Structure 1
Amino acid sequence: MLHLHDTTDGAAATRHDHEEMFELAPISLWLEDYAGLTALFDGWRREGVVSLREFLRENPAKVKACSEQIRVLKVNRRTLALYEADSLDHLVSNLGRVFRADMLKTFVDELCQLWDGATTFTSNTVNYTLGGRRLDIQLKGTVLPGYEATLGRVLLSIEDVTERETMRRQAAQAEEYARGLFEHSPVSLWVEDFSSVKQLVDELRFRGIVDFRVFTDVHPEFVRRCLSEIRVIDVNQHTLEMFAAPDKATLIAHIGDVFREDMHRHFREQLVDLWNGKLFHTREVVNYSLNGDELHVHLQFSVLPGHEHDWSLVQIALTDITARKKAEAYLEYLGKHDVLTKLYNRSFYVDELNRLERKGPFPVTIIMLDLDNLKQVNDQLGHAVGDALLRRTGEVLAKAVDKPNCAARIGGDEFALLLPGVDAEGGLAVMENIEKLVALNNQFYSASTLSMSAGMATSVPGERLEAVVRRADFEMYREKRGQPTATLVRG
């Protein structure tokens, strides 16, 4: 009897210990009765339901019917504290405030696991405290041994993972925000991997190379190899639009069409900067769109923080400055050219004359020309006709000379040709060509006749070019007065 008494006392102590462990567990524990749910399942099976998920999708009201079959038998202290409940009755009478629409989908997942015969189930869902605070929870359910057929006893553990999930959502939001900034940036953004380039550069240092610029002068193939080793990780939407690419895969597959020709020179300078430790640098470079258009871009290159040791993550920002470059080129053109005739203007002519004075090559032959009767044409036929004659003069003189020779409009009806390294015989050949071009031009414009007077002079050793200009002017005026000259040009 003593032995039996001891056994009874031990069982009681064990039950007490279990109750204590349940009550004092540091996570929320629920003991529930799912027997009514089993009866509901059995009835549906008899009705021919095969897929519970499809059945509940077609009959959403049945989900509530399932929840109504579950009875809460017991919860521990942690549960009451977590859900801000005074007692089990207080919690049970307000379960509608705890389990809201947020958990509907995960509850269906739990039901389907039990329908398929599982004795354990898990889910991540949302509950609410009686005070209205949202709880992100990780739920694990276990059918207690001996109740597998009836589901009469199911133990649920609920872990509050709100802090973890809040941090995860914040991280996801931050990532989405950063992704949005990247994807919808108004400039072209590239994320690239330069780690293979870093390895190649480090190998050169290991080999004892000190002057990288000299090395790349001697071995330009090294620059080409480095360029081929760059791996494009990602580009944004503006990049696709800017480079006329339908998608990222197409752009990356045709990257050789984007970085070509003059880009090798610019990339070499980037490598020099990287060699010298400049992990952030800017420059203006030329790229090409996939449809062949030349793109002038302002490039900003940066090895991202944390990747300085291997250059495995690099961001490149490209701002399209093509319009600005065209405007600059046009302004530069206007600074050197006459808009009406498209020839060089007087300012360029003076600068070029001074340059030739200093550097040659000699001899320099100068041809001065004057458009005949421009004032009379303007007075009698109007400036539009006079402007047409000036444009025709520009066409003739532009065809008559090639670089390094130049043709310039230096006054209203005055023109000059500078022919460096051309002797008198060469100058006469140019004069004869102009005469032929004038005659040809007049065949296409019968309404008015183009006629020019011209004079030519060739420099002699020690002679200032100003004196050559005066001699050419003198010859031109002799021709204009109708005096015989070997440099006659008639229209």
Structure 2
Amino acid sequence: MNEPLTETDLRKYLAAMEGAMDGMAILNEHGTYLYLNQAHAAIYGYDSRAELIGKTWRDLYTEAELERFDNVIMPLFMETGRWRGEATGLRKNGSTFPQELSLTALEGGGIICVVRDITDRRRAEQSVKDKLHFIQVLITTIPVPIFYKDAEGRYLGCNSAFEEHICLTREQIVGRTDRDLVPPDQAELFQQLDRSIMETRQVQIQESSLVCADGSRHDVIFYKAPFLNSDGSVGGVAGAILDITERKETEAKLRYLSTHDILTGLYNRAYFDEELERLKKGRTFPVSVVVADVDRLKRVNDLQGHAAGDELLKLTAQVLRGAFRTEDLVARIGGDEFAVILPGTANSATQEVIERIRKNLAEIVGDDGRPILSLSLGCATALDGEGLIEAWQRADELMYEDKLARQEGSRRT
């Protein structure tokens, strides 16, 4: 059985209530104030506690809030003898404020009431909400795909640009892992990177490719960083994606243009010269060189126009490309001049290819039955790197000898 409190104890408790920062009050069974500390009066905007003694707590709430008390709060309080939650109080000047309220029933009737003004807390919470909303709007508006995952690799959220980039909706992304969204090999790579980021707590940048839900593949750069929880533990990974597909395509196109002839699609003179230099240091000898020159190209240009001449050059490229192996390098090295490098090929084999070209040319005829294309050809073979340039020069000389011989033959006929 509990011992009754002594007068000394009562004085101690009363002093504690008087000094409390929270508003504390005792009400009778009718809800009328019997006691309240100064903090309680101040919270409701009263200068003196005497202004509330004898009044009911219902004077401190709006009609709308009293309706909530009558329909929700007080029924729960009557059932359990206690209630704690948030409400909206009414100050003496008519303004309202958010409060944290605790009600406890007393034996024999009456209520102990503890109230705390949580205006500052609500203001801080609203400030956080405003900032979070601003950040969310900012993330959503940014055209760069952004995503964030938890420590288990599950997507927590993303922006609209990320949805569009991988061709999935937010509902199809959030709560899932990379294994649900991309091919297994990519998922494993991404998860390894995420684990490394969380272990090292370092920002990492990685160039990779990303296969989207529609099957398209994009070249991208991932910018990823860990984010921390309030206790300092790693909460997961946030990242952004820079799509460099167009840049890669442009780079590839520029590389192609730097090494290829635009008209014919063959390698150009610059690449041909580079390959000669490279092969000089290689071990694929013997190396043969074939030089070809389009006969009467100037005449065709003058009489039929440059478009007809261009068609003749493209036909030459087609004939040469079809006559040589994939490992042979076929290039257009001048206006009407072509050259071919044949690694690991002896002169005898090269002569056979030239004869095959001549035979093929004879079968390409126009409506009048005459050959459309005529080529002067020469070839030579180098047995080592030192003789490669000489072989090219010799092939060029033999090509001109072939051209002169063909011109002499034409004059006789």
Q: How many residues align?
A: 390
Secondary structure of 1:449's match? coil
Task: Check 1:90–1:479 CA distance in 2 against 1; reply closer, same or farther (3 A cut).
Answer: farther
Which of 158, 167, 175 aligns to 1:236? It is 158
Contact 1:240 1:251 in 2 (8 A): no
**Partner secondary structure for residue 359 of structure 1:** coil
Corresponding residue of 1:78: 39
Deviation at 1:255? 4.9
TM superposition shift of 1:476: 2.0
1:296 corresponds to 2:222: no
Correspondence for 1:141: 103
Give the C-alpha shift of residue 158 in structure 1.
1.2
Q: How does 1:102-181 map to 2 (within 5 A)?
A: 104=64, 108=68, 111-115=71-75, 117-118=78-79, 119-127=81-89, 129-130=91-92, 135-146=97-108, 154-178=111-135
Contact map agreement 2:362 2:371 (CA 8 A) in 1: no
Give 3-state SS (helix, strand or coil) of 1:430's partner.
helix
The structure where strand makes up a greater share of residues is 2
* 2:270 is the alignment partner of 1:347: yes
Distance in 2 between the 1:177 and 1:455 partners? Answer: 74
2:85 is paired with a residue of what secondary structure? strand
CA distance in structure 1 between the partners assigned to 2:58 and 2:338 by the alignment? 96
Match of 2:340 in 1: 417
1:285 aligned to 2:242? no
What displacement does 1:336 show? Answer: 0.7
Q: What TM-score do the two structures reach when normalised by structure 1?
A: 0.63
- Output one character per residue of 1:427-480: Cα deviation in whole Å (capped at 9) or x when no partner: 234335545665677689x99934333222222457622221222222222333
What secondary structure is seen at the aligned counterpart in 2 of 1:85? coil
For residues 460-475 of structure 1, the aligned pairs below 5 Å read: 460-461=383-384, 464-475=387-398
Paired with 2:304 and 2:406, the residues of 1 have a C-alpha distance of 28
Q: Secondary structure at the match of 1:327?
A: helix
1:16-51 per-residue CA deviation (whole Å, 9 max, x = no partner) reads 97996798362324566886xxxxxxxxxxxxxxxx
Match of 1:398 among 310, 321, 344: 321
Q: Say if 1:127 and 1:135, in contact at 8 Å, map to a contact too.
A: yes
User: Which residue matches 1:51?
Assistant: none
Q: Cα gap change, 1:456/1:105 in structure 2, threshold over 3 Å: closer, same or farther?
A: farther
Cα distance change of structure 1 residues 134 and 370 upon mapping to structure 2, 3 Å threshold: farther
- Corresponding residue for 2:411? none
* Aligned-partner Cα distance in 2 for 1:190–1:160: 39
Q: Distance in 1 between matches of 2:92 and 2:371?
A: 99
Match of 1:222 in 2: none
Cα deviation digits, residues 105-135 of structure 1 (max 9, x gap): 7952653243465344333133364568764
Identical pairs, percent: 26
TM-superposition CA deviations, 1:322-350 (whole Å, max 9, x none): 11111111111111111111111111111
SS of the aligned residue for 2:390 comes to helix
The structural deviation recorded for 1:352 is 1.0
- Flag the 1:232–1:79 CA change in 2: closer, same or farther, 3 A: closer
Query: How far apart in 1 are the matches of 2:134 and 2:215?
Result: 34
CA deviations on 1:48-81 (whole Å, 9 max, x unpaired) are: xxxxxxxxxxxxxxxxxxxxxx877775422222
User: SS in structure 2 opposite 1:369?
Assistant: strand
State the partner residue of 2:178: 252
- What's the CA shift string for 1:144-194, capped at 9, x where partnerless? 5455xxxxx555321223344444444444555555555665444454577
Separation in structure 2 between the aligned mates of residue 310 and residue 159 of structure 1, nearest angstrom: 33
Aligned amino acid, residue 28 of structure 1: G
Amino acid at match of 1:252: D
Following the alignment from structure 1 to structure 2, what is the Cα–Cα distance between the partners of residues 146 and 336?
99
SS in 2 for 1:334: helix
Q: Distance in 1 between matches of 2:66 and 2:247?
A: 58
Counterpart in the other structure of 1:46:
none
Q: What's 1:24 paired with?
A: 18
Tell me the distance in 2 between the aligned counterparts of 1:190 and 1:96.
50
Give the TM-score normalised by the residue count of structure 2: 0.73
Asked if the contact 2:280/2:384 (under 8 Å) is kept, the reply is no
Alpha carbons of 1:18 and 1:301: their partners in 2 closer, same or farther (altered >3 Å)? closer
For structure 2, the 5+ residue unaligned runs are 408-413
Go from structure 1 to structure 2 and tell me whether the alpha carbon gap of 1:135 and 1:375 turns closer, same or farther (over 3 Å shift). Answer: same
Give the match's secondary structure for 1:404. Answer: coil
Q: In 2, distance between residues paired with 1:193 and 1:115?
A: 42
Give the drift of 1:422: 1.2
Instruction: For 2:72, give the aligned amino acid.
Output: C
Is this contact kept in 2: 1:300–1:316, CA < 8 A? yes
Matched AA of 2:18: L
The letter of the residue matching 1:162 is T
Give the Cα separation in 2 of the matches to 1:310 and 1:371. Answer: 74
With over 3 angstroms needed to count, the CA separation of the structure-2 counterparts of 1:357 and 1:78, relative to structure 1, is same
The question of whether the paired residues in 2 share the 8 Å contact of 1:188 and 1:235 is answered with: no
Q: Residue 242 of structure 2: SS of its match in structure 1?
A: strand
- 1:452 maps onto 2:379 in alignment: no
Tell me: CA distance 1:424–1:350, structure 2 relative to 1, closer, same or farther (3 Å): same
- Residues 358-388 of structure 1, C-alpha deviations (whole Å, 9 max, x = no match): 2241111111112233222222222223223
Question: In structure 1, how many angstroms separate the alpha carbons of the residues matched to 2:364 and 2:211?
Answer: 39
- Aligned equivalents of 1:161 and 1:314: distance in 2? 34
- Work out whether residues 22 and 76 of structure 1, in 8 Å CA contact, stay in contact via their aligned partners in 2: no
Partner SS for 1:355: helix
Deviations 1:188-235 (A, max 9, x none): 4454577xxxxxxxxxxxxxxxxxxxxxxxxxxxxxxxxxxx834545
**Distance across 2 between alignment mates of 1:305 and 1:401:** 62
Residue identity matched to 2:321: A
CA-atom RMSD, angstroms? 4.8
Unaligned stretches of 5+ residues in structure 1: 1-9, 36-69, 148-152, 195-229, 485-491
| Per-residue deviation, 1:417 | 0.9
- Corresponding letter in the other structure for 1:409: R
CA distance in 1, matches of 2:98, 2:250: 59
| Aligned counterpart, 1:366 | 289
